[in-house]
């Protein structure tokens, strides 16, 4: 079989999936067949998980059972909490703590279904527990009553969230729950394809998500808007970055060559949250102006590259509007994406094929071993 070298794999189809259809040229995203903008703002996160894992929305009774099964797995083992305490005392960064927390979970003697529920439930608890510990607050023990997103907000903030806050965060988590064969999802699929376990796959995926070219961009995107301060400073500030060959965070995408449809879903969710009286509307207005200047300059500096706003830009604004600090942005992304990682792992397990691409050897040939004392 002849093969071509494709270093970023963008010309390689490595899997078939029914989970999400990312139409990069059209700027459309379908989640298990539903246009993202028609499902993300309305579904609960539990409905989204059920859809991704079982390929259909649950009926009322199924949703209740599914939600209960998820909720009763929220509690962390003592060893994980101790590990989080120790990490917080050393001021370990939150994505590293999430990786450590997940890898401390036990994968033995549990079915894939049980592990799946447990990993999703505990990802939220680890993120909230670590956030509080890092801020010198005692963790809020998980409550089994509310839905996943209410529970996450309660564990983070120690109080019952408003319906508007729950809806905004739920929309965000649904929007980012799955997105084709992105880097972290691919990492998870590679791991599970060896018939390892879901905890290992999700831990590896967290490592991939952490990078600034993937899930680590919303923090820098928001920093950029903060640094700019006023709309008149946007152009000189962004020009200086581009003159120095720097990338503008929150812009450009490997697949979307038009505006990322998730930017509009999150932009609308952010606007709705402001209307309910949350957040800093001036910052939002500034961000909209910065976005327009950035798009104009990207077109000028990188003509023909079609660099457009991506999901991270409005993620930053939405999470900031919810009062989340930048350190929580990428971990919160993981709380949503873990549903998609697991859905992909389940799909990968069904196809059962080890992922093992080739590499073209470009090193030297015919070397002869020289003992150390003769080199």
Q: Does 208 bind ligand COA (CB under 6 A)?
A: no
State the number of binding residues for ligand COA (CB under 6 A).
17
Q: Could you give the angle at the alpha carbon of 184 between the alpha carbons of 362 and 330, nearest 5°?
A: 130
Establish if 257 lies at the interface with ligand COA (CB under 6 A): no
Applying CB under 6 A, among 153, 169, 190, 217 the residue interacting with ligand COA is 217
User: Could you say which of 119, 249, 293, 343 contacts ligand COA (CB under 6 A)?
Assistant: 249
Nearer to ligand COA, 57 or 288 (CB): 288
- Kindly state the smallest distance separating residue 85's Cβ from ligand COA, in Å: 32
Q: Which of 45, 66, 172, 251 binds ligand COA (CB under 6 A)?
A: 251
Instruction: From the candidates 312, 320, 344, 347, give the one annotated as an active-site residue.
Output: 312
Please tell me the total number of residues recorded for the chain in this structure: 375
Stretch binding ligand COA (CB under 6 A), from 64-72, 107-115, 122-130, 243-251: 243-251
DSSP for 137-190, written as a single string: -PPPPPPSSS-HHHHHHHHHHSSPPPHHHHHHHHHHHHHTS--SS-HHHHHHHH
Is 289 assigned a catalytic role? no
- Cα 271 to Cα 132: distance, rounded to the nearest angstrom: 28
Indicate if 179 belongs to the active site.
Answer: no
> Closest approach of Cβ 309 to ligand COA, in Å?
9
Q: Are 169 and 48 in contact (CB under 8 A)?
A: no
Q: Spell out, one character per residue from 162 to 191, where the chain touches ligand COA: x when CB under 6 A holds, - when not.
A: ------------------------------
Q: How far is the CB of 206 from ligand COA (least distance, A)?
A: 16
Q: How near is the Cβ of 307 to ligand COA at its closest, in Å? A: 5
Least Cβ distance, residue 250 to ligand COA (angstroms): 5
Give the footprint of ligand COA on residues 279-298 (CB under 6 A). Answer: 298
Q: Is 310 in the site for ligand COA (CB under 6 A)?
A: yes
Distance in angstroms (rounded) separating the CA atoms of residues 185 and 340: 8
Whether residue 114 contacts residue 106, with contact meaning beta carbons closer than 8 Å, is answered with no
Does position 312 interact with ligand COA (CB under 6 A)? The reply is yes
User: Between residues 303 and 358, which has the closer beta carbon with respect to ligand COA?
Assistant: 303
Contact with ligand COA (CB under 6 A) among 101, 188, 250, 279 = 250
CB of 116 to ligand COA, least distance (A): 25
Contact between 160 and 343 under an 8 Å Cβ cutoff? The reply is no
What is the C-alpha to C-alpha distance for residues 139 and 153, in angstroms, rounded to an integer?
12
Edge to edge, the sheet with strand 34-35 lists: 20-23, 28-31, 34-35
Residue from 307, 319, 322, 343 in contact with ligand COA (CB under 6 A): 307
Binder of ligand COA out of 302, 327, 349, 355 (CB under 6 A) = 302
Q: Which two tokens stand for residue 255?
A: 């697949």
Query: How many Cα atoms occupy the beta-carbon half-sphere of 212 within 13 Å?
Result: 8
- 254 lines the binding site for ligand COA (CB under 6 A): yes
100 or 224, CB closer to ligand COA?
224
Q: Going by C-beta distance under 8 Å and a sequence separation of 6 or more, which residues neighbour residue 88?
A: 97, 130, 133, 134
Asked if 213 interacts with ligand COA (CB under 6 A), we say yes
Tell me if 273 sits within 8 A of 279, measured CB to CB. yes
Q: Which of 253, 291, 344, 347 is catalytic?
A: 253
- For residue 255, the minimal CB distance to ligand COA (Å) is 8
Question: What phi-psi label fits residue 323: left (phi over 0), alpha (psi between -120 and 50 degrees) or beta?
Answer: left
Spatial distance between the Cα atoms of 93 and 104, rounded to a whole number of angstroms: 17
| Spatial CB neighbours of 65, under 8 Å, sequence gap ≥ 6 | none
Q: Which positions lie near ligand COA, rule CB under 6 A?
A: 213, 217, 247-254, 298, 302, 305, 307, 310-312
The catalytic residue positions are 253, 312
């Amino acid at each position: 079989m002849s093969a071509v070298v494709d270093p970023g794999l963008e010309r390689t189809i490595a899997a078939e999936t029914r989970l999400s259809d990312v139409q990069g040229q059209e700027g459309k995203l379908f989640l298990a067949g539903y246009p993202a903008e028609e499902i993300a703002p309305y579904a609960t996160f539990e409905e989204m998980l059920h859809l991704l894992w079982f390929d259909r929305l649950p009926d009322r009774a199924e949703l209740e059972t599914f939600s209960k099964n998820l909720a009763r797995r929220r509690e962390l083992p003592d060893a994980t909490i101790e590990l989080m305490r120790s990490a917080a005392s050393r001021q370990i960064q939150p994505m590293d703590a999430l990786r450590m927390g997940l890898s401390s979970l036990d994968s033995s003697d549990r079915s894939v279904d049980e592990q799946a529920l447990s990993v999703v439930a505990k990802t939220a608890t680890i993120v909230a527990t670590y956030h509080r510990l890092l801020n010198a607050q005692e963790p809020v023990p998980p409550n089994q009553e509310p839905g996943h997103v209410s529970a996450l907000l309660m564990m983070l903030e120690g109080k019952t969230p408003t319906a508007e806050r729950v809806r905004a965060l739920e929309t965000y988590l649904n929007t980012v729950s799955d997105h084709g064969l992105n880097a972290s999802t691919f990492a998870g699929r590679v791991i599970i394809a060896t018939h390892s376990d879901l905890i290992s796959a999700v831990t590896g995926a967290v490592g991939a998500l952490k990078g600034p070219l993937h899930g680590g961009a919303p923090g820098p995107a928001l920093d950029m808007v903060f640094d700019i301060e006023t709309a008149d400073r946007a152009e000189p500030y962004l020009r200086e970055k581009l003159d120095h060959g720097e990338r503008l965070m929150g812009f450009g995408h490997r697949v979307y060559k038009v505006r990322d449809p998730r930017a509009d879903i999150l932009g609308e969710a952010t606007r709705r949250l402001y209307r309910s009286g949350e957040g800093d509307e001036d910052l939002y207005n500034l961000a909209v102006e910065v976005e327009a200047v950035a798009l104009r300059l990207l077109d000028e500096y990188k003509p023909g590259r079609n660099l457009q706003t991506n999901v991270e830009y409005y993620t930053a604004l939405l999470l900031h509007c919810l009062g989340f600090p930048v350190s929580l942005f990428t971990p919160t992304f993981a709380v949503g994406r873990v549903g998609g990682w697991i859905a992909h792992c389940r799909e990968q397990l069904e196809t059962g094929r080890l992922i093992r691409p080739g590499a073209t050897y470009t090193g030297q040939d015919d070397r002869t071993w020289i003992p150390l004392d003769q080199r």
